[in-house]
Structure 1
Amino acid sequence: MYDLILVPIDGSPTAQRGLDEALALAARLGSRLHLLNVVDARLLIAEASMAVPPGDVLDAWRLEGERLVRAAEAAASARGVKADSAVRCEPGMRVCDVIVQEVAACGAGLIVMGTHGRQGLRRLTLGSDAELVLRDSPVPVLLVRDPANASR
């Protein structure tokens, strides 16, 4: 049904719930996973007062992304699921736009990702990459809600 499933991960418990669901689904369907970590270079603006050069920060974030996708690939392998991965850094682009761009580039037929399930003011102020992916995705999106964060 879905030969390739795109799974964005960022190391958060919410993203882990999405990964866990994607692993279970891929194991049942015989699908492959494309694991994606997006380095959000826009966060450097919030860190403008740092004493560390921005390039060094981005390099550190890329290395952390590589570590995250390698760990997720190992988890997939342990479940008998084939996976590949990518770490993307597209300065000036929103995370949601990079995810939608990646689904087209890799040919995935489904995106599985975690969502905080925020409501009210927190949703308006913090935004939701998951919601924006859902709106713009050319393929179906399975959002996995993190019950630990649902009431926040």
Structure 2
Amino acid sequence: MYDRILVPVDGSDTSNHGLREALRLAKRLGAQLRLLHVVDPQLVYIDFGGMVNVSDYVESIRKAGREVLAEAVKIAEAEGVPTDAELREKNGGTVADLVLAEAKKWEAGMIVMGTHGRRGIRHLVLGSDAMGVVREAAIPVVLIRDPAAR
């Protein structure tokens, strides 16, 4: 049932805590991991001098995403956990939508992800991809809070 664990990663400390917990679970359960990184090519960087070349910017965030995934795969492989990785682009919708779609497509039994654990006004203003996943997931979701965020 829990032989496939989906782990969204973004390279942050919070995400890395989620990855480490997913690795512990995978070892205990004999599960494999799918690491997922979502890039948003719709973000455009604007400064007072004008707009950067959009195609260069989009390629740079894709490259950064591939680097995040490569580092996460390296960590998982060092732990002996079977792992693959997917880079997805957000073209409308939310990150939570993409995480849930990947979980369904890959037939994940569980999602493990880091969360900042924001509350109150900070949560309302900044929102939460993790909470979007929890609200809509048809499978168990384990949220790992960054100890530094407490």
User: What TM-score, normalized by structure 2, do the two folds share?
Assistant: 0.93
Does structure 2 retain, via aligned residues, the 8 Å contact 1:65–1:87? yes
Determine the structure 1 residue equivalent to 2:18.
18
Using the TM superposition, give the Cα deviation of residue 102 of structure 1 relative to its aligned residue in structure 2, in angstroms. 0.6
Deviation track 1:15-67 (CA, whole Å, cap 9, x = no partner) reads 000001001110111100000000023433xx244532222211111111111
Does 2:147 match 1:147? yes
Determine if contact 1:41/1:92 at 8 Å carries over to the other structure: no
Match of 1:35 in 2: 35
Amino acid at match of 2:11: G
SS class of match (2:114): strand
Aligned to 2:77: 77
CA contact (8 A) 2:46 2:52 kept: no
- Give the partner amino acid of 2:108: A
- Cα deviation 1:88-121 (Å, max 9, x = unaligned): 0031121111111110111111000000110111
For the residues of structure 2 that align with 1:120 and 1:142, how far apart are their CA atoms? 21
Instruction: Give structure 1 regions of 4+ aligned residues with deviation exceeding 6 angstroms.
Output: none
Q: Is the 8 A contact 2:6 2:33 kept in 1?
A: yes
Count residues with an aligned counterpart: 148
Task: Give the drift of 1:73.
Answer: 1.1
Q: Which moved more, 1:6-15 or 1:87-96?
A: 87-96
- Aligned pairs for 1:1-152 within 5 A: 1-44=1-44, 47-49=45-47, 51-150=51-150
Identity of aligned residues (%): 47
Aligned-partner residue type, residue 57 of structure 2 = V
Runs (5+) with no aligned partner, structure 2 = none
- Counterpart CA distance in 2 for 1:116 and 1:132 is 13
What are structure 1's unaligned runs of at least 5 residues? none
Q: Counterpart of 2:33 in 1: which secondary structure?
A: strand
The separation in 2 between residues aligned to 1:34 and 1:64, in whole angstroms, is 18
Comparing 35-44 and 75-84, the one that deviates more: 35-44
Q: What RMSD in Å do the two structures reach over aligned CA positions?
A: 1.3
